[in-house]
Amino acid sequence: MENVIELGELTKTYGTRRGLTGLTLEVRKGEIFGFLGPNGAGKTTTIRLLLDLIRPTSGSRVVLGLDPLTDGIRLRARVGYLPGDFVCDGRQSVSGYLRFLAALRGGVPQGRIDELAERLGLDQSAKIKKLSKGNRQKVGLVQALMHTPELLILDEPTSGLDPLVQQTFLELIAEAAERGQTVFMSSHIMSEVEAVAHRVGIIRDGSLVALDSVANLRSVSTREVEVTFASPVPADAFIRVPGADGLRVDTAGTTLSGSFSGDPDDLVKALAGHTVTGLQVTKPALEDLFHSYYEGAEAAPRPTPRPAPVGEA
């Protein structure tokens, strides 16, 4: 599969301060990649390196097959970028500002701008300086999306948006991926990324601590289970199932309940040896998994090995 972003051991130090340490990552064409991490983890540093807004201390980066250092102009023409600290000229009206940017990009159909503004609930006649933070963020989203770029790079895109608009944004992103656009979005909120991302990377203290598909992360994260049986089962019936340490058989022997952190397939196979009369499984608590990465990478399970380094461009 074609890679849209290829980073090899990318490192950025700010004087003596750590920004990013040895980030190796590939983002594939058409995927929505969620880049998660707490404040100060290195998300914005990574995004700025992608667009050559800052220069790496070492390592390699290839974006859309281009070198961001030498091919910056061609690269930016093919990217939609929403900075984390989106600012724009407050004296203009929303429509004037968007038309200006559309012209800079060689023209964007007015219908596309109108459609995005309407779906996000953005009043184009308003003066930008009079907009609330959330409405200014909508301007940032429209300018990133309106020219239907091959790659969307969005730094905390839902910051300041109310839940309804967040939902609309997620729909727009999903539609973009369906059209074959690639999305790289940073966030520190798992739930919004979980809703749309195909894969997520978690960054902490400048290093990548997890990289996997949402489906795989979900398969190893904890879920609450309750199973009832037609006849009593031994107390230790499931003790050998990996990830079943949190499950207990009640004194009557007819209910198994608790938290399960293993592969659901292993549990289903073990249950198949008994007559099951009821089964309840909650959605896995991905949020918990992510908090464990945030708080201490050592304590957290690692769903897959670290990614293999990509070659130099």
Ligand X SMILES: Nc1ncnc2c1ncn2[C@@H]1O[C@H](COP(=O)(O)OP(=O)(O)OP(=O)(O)O)[C@@H](O)[C@H]1O
Tokens of 286: 């991905």
DSSP state at residue 177: H
Tokens of 211: 């990289």
Counting contacts by CB under 6 A, is residue 19 touching ligand X? yes
Q: Of 42 and 59, which has the nearer Cβ to ligand X?
A: 42
Among the listed residues 65, 72, 83, 84, the single contact to ligand X using CB under 6 A: 84
- How many angstroms separate the CA atoms of 78 and 1, rounded? 19
Length of the chain: 313
Tokens 């940073």: give the residue: 186
Supply the minimum distance, in Å, between the C-beta of residue 280 and ligand X: 37
Counting contacts by CB under 6 A, is residue 44 touching ligand X? yes
Q: Of 97 and 184, which has the nearer Cβ to ligand X?
A: 184
Counting contacts by CB under 6 A, is residue 43 touching ligand X? yes
- How many angstroms separate the CA atoms of 280 and 274, rounded? 16
Contact range with ligand X by CB under 6 A, out of 42-50, 118-126, 233-241, 305-313: 42-50
Q: Of 41 and 66, which has the nearer Cβ to ligand X?
A: 41
Q: Of 10 and 225, which has the nearer Cβ to ligand X?
A: 10
Supply the minimum distance, in Å, between the C-beta of residue 23 and ligand X: 11
What mask of x and - would describe binding to ligand X in positions 181 to 210, judged by CB under 6 A? -------x----------------------
Backbone φ and ψ for 155, nearest 5 degrees, come out as -95, 110
Q: Are 306 and 211 in contact (CB under 8 A)?
A: yes
Supply the minimum distance, in Å, between the C-beta of residue 14 and ligand X: 3
Strand ranges across the sheet with 58-63: 17-28, 3-14, 58-63
Contact range with ligand X by CB under 6 A, out of 32-40, 89-97, 248-256, 299-307: 32-40
Q: Which of residues 218-237 bind ligand X (CB under 6 A)?
A: none
Counting contacts by CB under 6 A, is residue 134 touching ligand X? no
Chain mean position to CA 226: 31
- How many angstroms separate the CA atoms of 208 and 41, rounded? 9
Tokens of 198: 């195909």
Q: Are 223 and 58 in contact (CB under 8 A)?
A: no
Contact range with ligand X by CB under 6 A, out of 26-34, 41-49, 169-177, 243-251: 41-49
Q: Are 185 and 33 in contact (CB under 8 A)?
A: yes
DSSP state at residue 153: E
Q: Which of residues 241-270 bind ligand X (CB under 6 A)?
A: none
Q: Which of residues 53-72 bind ligand X (CB under 6 A)?
A: none
Which is nearest to 310 in space by CA: 204, 218, 211? 211
Supply the minimum distance, in Å, between the C-beta of residue 247 and ligand X: 37
> Which residues lie across from 121 on neighbouring strands?
none
Supply the minimum distance, in Å, between the C-beta of residue 38 and ligand X: 7
What mask of x and - would describe binding to ligand X in positions 137 to 176, judged by CB under 6 A? ----------------------------------------
- How many angstroms separate the CA atoms of 141 and 110, rounded? 16
DSSP state at residue 189: -
Q: Which residues bind ligand X (CB under 6 A)?
A: 14, 17, 19, 37, 39-45, 84, 188
